[in-house]
A and B are shown apart, each in its own frame.
Chain A
Amino acid sequence: MAANTKETGKEPLFHIVKRTDLPMWKSWLIRIGAVVASLIICAVIIILLTGDNPIQIYGTMVKGAVGSPRRIWALLQGVAMLLCIALAVTPAFKMRFWNIGAEGQVLMGGLGATACMILFGKTLPAPLVLVLVIVVSIICGAVWGLIPAIFKAFWNTNETLFTLMMNYIAIQIVSYFTYIWSSNKGNNVINTINVDTHAGWLELPPSIDKYGYMLNVIIVGALTVLMYFYLKYSKQGYEISVVGESENTAKYAGINVKKVIIRTMIISGALCGVAGMLLVSGTDHTITPNTAGGRGFTAIMVSWLAKFNPLFMVLTSLLIVFMQKGAQEISTVFGLNNSFSDIITGIIIFFIIGSEFFINYSIKFRAKEVEAK
């Protein structure tokens, strides 16, 4: 990196060595240290830029995220939605298939749910509508993931660009349908669908679930455990890792790479479809082009930060949603613009990503006697 090799014959000041032997507790110590360091840096920036007390700001962030039962449930809902999408992109990432189309896959899933609720809400019985909502949204998400997978498997197209562009197509399709189904002519807002009958709503009775997010959290919790076992212990999960490590190895081992790519992307898209269904049928009961709200991209970070381990993703998505909820509260209490909280979030995430470097590599300084010469 910054090694100085200009002076010939001299060992550089320091060099970087890959390490593999770091015990678990040490690596976590480094991570926690990074978070603490980032909080200190943020505190300095807060004082320099705003003159506010950083301890108060941090306190407000915590209060904003978990300050009341309602806020805790809103936090859990936020974590569940982000986590669900992170779970969805993970099998694809493990396969080195860069699915950055989760935003679009979620929207298409949500659109499928919306369509069923609007078109069948008044003609079919409510339980049947809900079944249709679930099936159709999963199919819609899966199809949106399948299209780039087919192109990748048979013609080796670049999946990064392909999935990215599919996002914009999905956003336009959703805009089109919000126009078609506008509740007031031409203003592109769909009012709460089936507000009287609740047809197609995924919900528990309010007596059990006062804040309305319990079912979403339970479903995503179950999916997290399932995904953990799928990736770690199933044959298909193993095939995914092999294809990710090396396609040629996979071929020699007799794995049908095309099949694995297509199957994995169907799973990835289907899970995004579930996320879209949870957002539309389980939460908002309407759709806008902003329903996914950028989670399709944030989920990539969640998955990477957790090194594709579904259980760690609980932590990383909690961290990110906690920061977002806290940030909203500091903009309310301190009148600071949301961009300011983005700065703080950015610094903290930068430190966390940076800490991975020190976990994977150690820095060896050149020996003292060389220095003395």
Chain B
Amino acid sequence: MKRIIAVLLAVVFVCGALAACGGNNANTSKATADETKAAKTDFKAGFIFLHDENSTYDLNFINAAKAACENLGVECIIKTNVPESNECKDAALDLADQGCGLVFADSFGHEDFMIAAAKEFPKVQFCHATGTKAHTEKLDNYHNAFASIYEGRYLAGVAAGMKLNQMIEEGKIKAEEAKIGYVGAYTYAEVVSGYTSFFLGARSICPSATMEVQFTGSWYDETLEKEAATTLINNKCVLLSQHADSMGAPTACEDAGIPDVSYNGSTLSSCPNTFIVSSRIDWTPYMELAIKAAMNGEKIDADWTGTLATQSVALTEVNDKAAAPGTADKIAEVKKGLEDGSIHVFDTASFTVDGKKLDSYKADVDTDADYTPDTEVIADGYFHESEYRSAPYFDLRIDGIKLLNEKY
């Protein structure tokens, strides 16, 4: 019996070894073929994504990666379903082994594994979306990126405010019943910044608006998100929005006939009657910029924040069936104000904390174990979001927003 096992093991290893050699040969011959074709387009960009295209969050990245690589004519290698563990480091190093000049990862928990990979391959550029540590790690080849999505959220909030006003005018609700519901993932600054900017946008149009937030404790959990949305609807919220990555909240709204302002991309096809508009980050401009810089050996910023101007912050088409009349025009008008600086999303005149207007606030910009506030972020009458690092750090609990559960 043992002899047979030994023979089998030998067969397995020989097959494996042969296959490995075969694989390597194929690899090298392919590479030489590429080299002879064109010297400039042999650049490879590698991408690491937490889930696959079934998650709205990752789909947004996958589409951007494909578009950026196609626009620049570079080879695109995508690894999906990479967990936030050492497998991320293996995936990043494997992409570097394959000759990628740039490796990009999309999930917050990938950050430390990307940093570890960056230290092993100093000549390969490693870019990480949503991370917070590039400005303190000070590696030449490790970079963070995000976008001023709070501006997109604010504009989406304007659409929500328009809808609330329409409901009040039509007598469907009283002014004091203009309550928005919001499904959030975690009590993390990125989410807080998102719902607060959305709420401020809505309140700039509908002054009587209030909001309730229900957290799910997960970035992607369809059942929990649907339950949270239903809870909010039962609490008499008349309009919903969400910051979590499944279709849970939008479909709950469609089932209940409650208008929804979506995120990450359009949910119009599944929710034709209730989808108003969606904000999202378009990663294509950043990916193009980073790939180009890596190709030409130019420096990539440690922190890069996309804006409305770089077309990194995008809104989908407004769905006229659900939105109030004139929404698109109003969004265009406010967008102009944001771009020319006449409107600031976190204008300290537009919100209070514990009934008081803020003149000064120190945010936790540099990551440390005790969440030490380290940077003054209020100046010139507004909160400077995403300026001292790309990832959001607005974590104030402003008046008018009620958090139903804080335990995540």
Partners in one complex: yes
Q: How far is the CB of B8 from chain A (nearest CB, A)?
A: 7
Q: Which residues of B contact A (CB under 8 A)?
A: 1, 4-5, 8-9, 12, 16-17, 19-20, 22-24, 26-27, 52-53, 77-81, 83-87, 90, 93-94, 97, 108-109, 111-113, 116, 132-133, 186-192, 217, 364, 367, 369, 371, 395, 407-408
User: Could you tell me if B16 and A62 are in contact, using CB atoms closer than 8 angstroms?
Assistant: yes
Contact assessment for A74 and B108 in the assembled complex, using a CB-CB cutoff below 8 Å: no
> A50 on the interface (CB 8 Å rule)?
no
Contact A187 B5 (CB under 8 A): no
- Bits for A34-75, please: 1 = Cβ < 8 Å to B, else 0: 000000000000000000000000010011011110111010
With A184-B189, A191-B112 already in contact, the answer to whether A290 and B86 are too (CB < 8 A) is: no
Chain B proximity mask over A325-338: 1 for CB below 8 Å, otherwise 0: 00010011001011
Q: How many Å lie between the Cα of A315 and that of B87 in the bound state? A: 22
* Contact of A74 with B77 at beta-carbon distance under 8 Å, contacts A62-B19, A191-B367 already known: no
CA distance A291 to B84 in the complex (A): 9
Is A25 touching B186 in the complex (CB atoms < 8 A)? Answer: no
Q: Do residues A328 and B85 form an inter-chain contact, with CB atoms below 8 A?
A: no
Known: A63-B19, A185-B371. A191 touches B111 (CB 8 A): yes
Q: Are B80 and A338 in contact (CB under 8 A)?
A: yes
- Is A183 an interface position by the 8 A CB rule? yes
Residue of B nearest to A25 (CB): B4
Q: How far is the CA of A335 from the CA of B116 in the complex (A)?
A: 27
Contact of A288 among B85, B111, B192, B364 (CB under 8 A): B85
Cβ-defined contact, B20 with A62, below 8 A? yes
Q: Does A28 contact B (CB under 8 A)?
A: yes
A355 interfacial contact with B, CB 8 Å:
no
- Contact residues of A with B, CB < 8 Å? 24-25, 28, 59, 62-63, 65-68, 70-72, 74, 175, 179, 182-189, 191-192, 195, 212, 279, 283-286, 288, 290-291, 293, 311-312, 315, 318, 328, 331-332, 335, 337-338
Contact A315 B83 (CB under 8 A): no
Question: Given A63-B20, A189-B108, A315-B8, is A332 in contact with B79 using a C-beta cutoff of 8 Å?
Answer: yes
A59: B residues at CB distance < 8 A:
19, 22-23, 26
Q: Tell me how far the C-beta of A127 lies from the nearest C-beta in chain B, rounded to whole angstroms.
A: 23
Contacts of A71 in B (CB 8 A): 94
Residues of chain B within 8 A (CB-CB) of A74 are 87, 90, 94
Known: A63-B23, A186-B188. Is A283-B112 also a contact (CB below 8 A)? Answer: no
Contact A192 B20 (CB under 8 A): no
Q: How far is the CB of A11 from chain B (nearest CB, A)?
A: 37
Q: A62-B23, A175-B217 are in contact. Are A28 and B8 (CB under 8 A)?
A: yes
* A residues less than 8 Å from B191 (CB atoms): 186
When the two chains form their complex, are residues A67 and B23 in contact, meaning their CB atoms are under 8 A apart?
yes
Taking a contact as CB atoms closer than 8 A, the residue among B79, B108, B111, B116 that contacts A328 in the complex is B79
B379 to chain A, nearest CB (A): 23
> Smallest Cβ distance from B121 to chain A, in angstroms?
12
The answer to whether A28 and B4 have CB atoms under 8 Å apart is yes
Q: Are A189 and B86 in contact (CB under 8 A)?
A: no
Closest Cβ of chain B: how far from A39's Cβ, in Å?
13
Given A28-B8, A192-B116, A186-B93 contact (CB < 8 Å)? no
Q: Are B112 and A192 in contact (CB under 8 A)?
A: yes
Q: Contact between A288 and B109 (Cβ–Cβ < 8 Å)?
A: yes
Query: By the criterion CB–CB under 8 Å, are A70 and B189 in contact?
Result: no
For residue B87, which residues in chain A have a CB less than 8 angstroms away from its CB?
74
Question: Which B-chain residue is minimally distant from A122 (CB atoms)?
Answer: B369
Contact A183 B24, CB 8 Å, known A59-B19, A175-B217, A331-B80: no
